[in-house]
Structure 1
Amino acid sequence: MDQAPGSPQGPGEQAPQPAPSLPTCYRHPDRETGVRCTRCERPICPECMISASVGFQCPECVRDGSGTGHAPTATLPRTIAGGTIAADPRLFTKILIVINLAVFLAVQMNNSLLNSLVLIGQWPPAPWMPTEGVAEGEWYRLVTSMFTHEEIWHIAFNMLSLWWLGGPLEAALGRVRYLALYLVSGLAGSALTYLLASPSEGSLGASGAIFGLFGATAVLMRRLNYDMRPVLALLAINLIFTFTWSGIAWEAHIGGLVAGVVVGYAMVHAPRERRALVQYGTCGLVLVAVIALTLLRTFQLT
């Protein structure tokens, strides 16, 4: 006969033992997990798992190379976005800074060169000048305008921002994905400027790409559960300058920021089983939007 609930056990019978509980993720105490980091052996949940050549590792071990300070027990893993960890995590950032500085010096030695590199119109802006550049088929200006600066304060601000934001992003995403983010964000800023700005108003500078890095940094910090207040405060200050300081192409800032958020989200949230498809597919879709906006504006101006 079945025993009533709560009644004493019969002779020889043992009370059922509760199933042992799993450890909880060290970053998310409310989540049980059976997986541990292969380096520091702390329990990690699926959100914190970063694929390594052997098993999974936690974000801290990926970031500093060892986690607890002990010798690594596994070969170096890929980044949170699936990129390869490089010996110099700032190499592409340095190259981009050198390119910007080289173009700036070339312009200082020959200021007339600027008019062949800016996005649209004449530099300095001249309302009486006819439309020139992209509308006449010089699409390369969408790229060259990303590397042109005239004032020393302009390039100084952009290069400092590129160094502060670009280095950590390059380390987190990997070189190829970081370069894709930079270029796509810059092109999105150029396209929105071309669409909305006056056809006789020149536009130049890496600001679209820099704002793309701002957007991707915010997404990455949210993904890693870092304190987002510093980057959000810095972004807010830059947006205030964008809309209150005369002579700033706000279109480039907003276009780059939106593209940076979209591409950055795809980079750090893409599922591992089809990571590359989602990441580069998103970059491709943003580029399609850039082409569509450029064609639309060219049709309006010709």
Structure 2
Amino acid sequence: MDQAAGSTPDARSLPVCYRHPDRETGIRCTRCERPICPECMVSASVGFQCPECVRAGSGTGHTPAATRPRTLAGGTLTADPRLATKILIGVNLAAFLVQQSVGDRFTNRFLLFGGPAHAAYLTGLQGVADGQYYRLLTAMFLHSGYIHILFNMVSLWWIGGPLEAALGRARYLALYFVSGLAGSALTYLLAAPNQPSLGASGAIYGLFAATAVLMRRLNYDLRPVVALLVINLIITFGVPHIAWQAHVGGLVAGAVTGYAMVHAPRRNRALVQYGTCAVVLAVVVVLTLVRTAQLT
């Protein structure tokens, strides 16, 4: 939605959210005109409202489903707007602990390109080309070391939390998994079949792209997120042994899906949002089938 009439945010003098004083914002509640950040804004018939105005407007009775307060992207407001992010971090950490406990026997079974299941009997590598399509998903939850998972989980918390609050839980999870799968598919298509690939970076780059789209939608200053993204891309292409394909695949999928999430018209909004996810997943399937045909 458009920001409050007559206000043009200035990156040098933005007000701060009345509930989160550390967050600058160019959006105000359309009822009380208090500044609100993406985590606090609730989609209304015109513009956005703050949580207090929403509660005051709905009273103490039950709110009909059609008029319940929604996030910017049309998602349902929840008591803990970062719950999905916390769960994703927990799953990643749990998988990493299993990796550290079990070792390569576990990791090779679930990363994108794995070693042979029984090295004494097999010499070839096993992977998606052998019908193990689950690796496109499981590889997203494995990491190569402490620095790898630390960097990814800090990024996931820093970027994912506010994005989940702005999109809503279901749309946020759809964005995360679509971006991660797109990163896996592009890696599978372009990388050598004996090059191990694992990590949540593809999904996180998708969140980066969606955050940039969201900030542009809200007329925020894009320079910080663009600078951070440029630094990460320099690292991606400048440091050896980084699967740049996963980063690029996640980035493109995140930009496309994120645009659909925050720019979909109110009419048929869910159809546009999830339809875009379905199209991206269809591309993932096509890339996977093409590469499998090349390798078999």
- Fold shared, TM-score > 0.5 on shorter chain: yes
Unmatched segments (≥5 aa) in structure 2: 10-27, 35-40, 59-67, 117-121
In the TM superposition, residue 71 of structure 1 has moved relative to its aligned partner by: 8.6
After TM superposition, the structure 1 = structure 2 runs for residues 84-99 of structure 1, keeping only pairs within 5 Å, are 84-99=76-91
Secondary structure, aligned partner of 2:220: coil
**Residues 1-31 of structure 1: CA deviation (Å, up to 9, x unaligned):** xxxxxxxxxxxxxxxxxxxxxxx813359xx
In the TM superposition, residue 40 of structure 1 has moved relative to its aligned partner by: 1.5
After TM superposition, the structure 1 = structure 2 runs for residues 132-281 of structure 1, keeping only pairs within 5 Å, are 132-281=126-275
- On the 8 A contact 1:142/1:191 being kept in 2, the answer is yes
Alpha-carbon distance in structure 1 between the residues aligned to 2:57 and 2:230? 41
Instruction: Give the one of 4, 7, 13 matched to 1:27.
Output: 7
In the TM superposition, residue 50 of structure 1 has moved relative to its aligned partner by: 6.6
In the TM superposition, residue 85 of structure 1 has moved relative to its aligned partner by: 1.1
Give me the CA root mean square deviation. 2.3
Alpha-carbon distance in structure 2 between the residues aligned to 1:238 and 1:78? 33
What TM-score, normalized by structure 2, do the two folds share? 0.81
In the TM superposition, residue 73 of structure 1 has moved relative to its aligned partner by: 3.5
In the TM superposition, residue 77 of structure 1 has moved relative to its aligned partner by: 2.3
- On the 8 A contact 2:54/2:69 being kept in 1, the answer is no
- Structure 1 residues 38 and 230: CA distance shift in structure 2, 3 A: closer
- On the 8 A contact 2:164/2:172 being kept in 1, the answer is yes
- On the 8 A contact 1:39/1:57 being kept in 2, the answer is no
Q: Percent identity?
A: 65
Alpha-carbon distance in structure 2 between the residues aligned to 1:198 and 1:148? 19
Asked which structure has the greater CA Rg, the reply is 1
In the TM superposition, residue 37 of structure 1 has moved relative to its aligned partner by: 5.7
Unmatched segments (≥5 aa) in structure 1: 1-23, 30-35, 43-48
- On the 8 A contact 1:50/1:56 being kept in 2, the answer is no
Alpha-carbon distance in structure 1 between the residues aligned to 2:123 and 2:185? 21
Q: Who is 2:276 aligned against?
A: 282
User: 1:271 is aligned with what amino acid?
Assistant: P
Alpha-carbon distance in structure 1 between the residues aligned to 2:92 and 2:151? 12
**Residues 55-82 of structure 1: CA deviation (Å, up to 9, x unaligned):** 4343xx44xx34xxx7954247211100
Alpha-carbon distance in structure 2 between the residues aligned to 1:213 and 1:92? 13
- On the 8 A contact 1:121/1:129 being kept in 2, the answer is no
**Residues 208-259 of structure 1: CA deviation (Å, up to 9, x unaligned):** 0000000000000000000111111110110000000111000000000000
Instruction: Give the one of 41, 49, 56 matched to 2:46.
Output: 56
- On the 8 A contact 1:191/1:290 being kept in 2, the answer is yes
Q: Who is 1:13 aligned against?
A: none
- On the 8 A contact 1:118/1:144 being kept in 2, the answer is yes
Instruction: Give the one of 276, 289, 292 matched to 1:295.
Output: 289
Q: How many residues align?
A: 254
- On the 8 A contact 1:216/1:265 being kept in 2, the answer is yes
What TM-score, normalized by structure 1, do the two folds share? 0.79
In the TM superposition, residue 136 of structure 1 has moved relative to its aligned partner by: 0.3
Secondary structure, aligned partner of 2:268: helix
Alpha-carbon distance in structure 1 between the residues aligned to 2:242 and 2:33? 50
Secondary structure, aligned partner of 1:138: coil
Q: Who is 1:74 aligned against?
A: 57
- On the 8 A contact 1:182/1:209 being kept in 2, the answer is yes
Secondary structure, aligned partner of 2:193: coil
**Residues 86-119 of structure 1: CA deviation (Å, up to 9, x unaligned):** 1101000000000000000000001120000100
User: 1:104 is aligned with what amino acid?
Assistant: F
In the TM superposition, residue 289 of structure 1 has moved relative to its aligned partner by: 0.1
Secondary structure, aligned partner of 2:57: coil
User: 1:56 is aligned with what amino acid?
Assistant: V
Alpha-carbon distance in structure 1 between the residues aligned to 2:57 and 2:82? 23
Secondary structure, aligned partner of 2:249: helix
